[in-house]
């Protein structure tokens, strides 16, 4: 991370600090569970998003490295119809298979302790509040499983 001259970056968070200060709310009760269920139901073999669109917060190439490390590089599919190149992007345009994307995110959820902090519920609203000079948000959450008429 780059800081302005004289600024001190915040210290990195430990896994315990994350577990004690972060709450992940998912209507399906697990990290990306609804997403996985939808992709399975629709039999989607490959994502449309490029391989750098994932949830690793530190390295946009982490999924690519994961595939190479696991000997699954062939599951990063090159899209031949997208072959434009310019000064800012040298390609290739590759999308991951759903299977490797799921395995990668399972690994991330356990590595970062996310699976341990997922609560079943839905976010009802997020409202800004001002406390002293710090901007905060009030988040209203309905905990528990949605009724069948609320599911998508």
Adjacent-strand bridge partners of 77: 95
Burial tier of 66 (Cβ tally within 10 Å: 0-12, 13-18, 19+): buried
Per-residue pLDDT tens for 90-145? 667 889 999 999 999 989 888 887 888 889 999 999 999 877 777 788 999 999 87
Q: What is the pLDDT of residue 151?
A: 40
pLDDT bucket at 86, cuts 50 / 70 / 90? low
Q: What is the pLDDT of residue 114?
A: 81
Cis peptide before 92 (omega within 30 of 0): yes
Q: What is the pLDDT of residue 145?
A: 73
Q: How far apart are CA 86 and CA 63, in angstroms?
A: 23
Per-residue pLDDT tens for 3-62? 455 566 666 667 788 778 888 888 998 888 888 999 999 999 999 888 888 888 888 889
pLDDT beyond 80 at 69: yes
Specify the pTM: 0.68
Q: What is the pLDDT of residue 9?
A: 60
């Amino acid at each position: 991370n780059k800081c302005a001259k004289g600024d001190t970056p915040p210290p990195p968070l430990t896994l315990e600090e994350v577990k004690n200060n972060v709450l992940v709310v998912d209507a399906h009760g697990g990290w990306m569970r609804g997403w996985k269920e939808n992709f399975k139901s629709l039999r989607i073999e490959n994502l449309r998003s490029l391989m750098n669109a994932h949830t690793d917060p530190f390295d946009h190439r982490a999924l690519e490295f994961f595939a190479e490390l696991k000997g699954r590089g062939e599951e990063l599919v090159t899209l031949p119809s997208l072959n434009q190149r310019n000064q800012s992007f040298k390609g290739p345009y590759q999308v991951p298979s759903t299977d490797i994307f799921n395995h990668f995110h399972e690994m991330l959820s356990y590595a970062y302790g996310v699976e341990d902090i997922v609560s079943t519920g839905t976010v009802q609203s997020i409202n800004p509040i001002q406390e002293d000079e710090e901007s905060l948000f009030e988040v209203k959450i309905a905990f528990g499983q949605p009724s069948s008429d609320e599911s998508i």
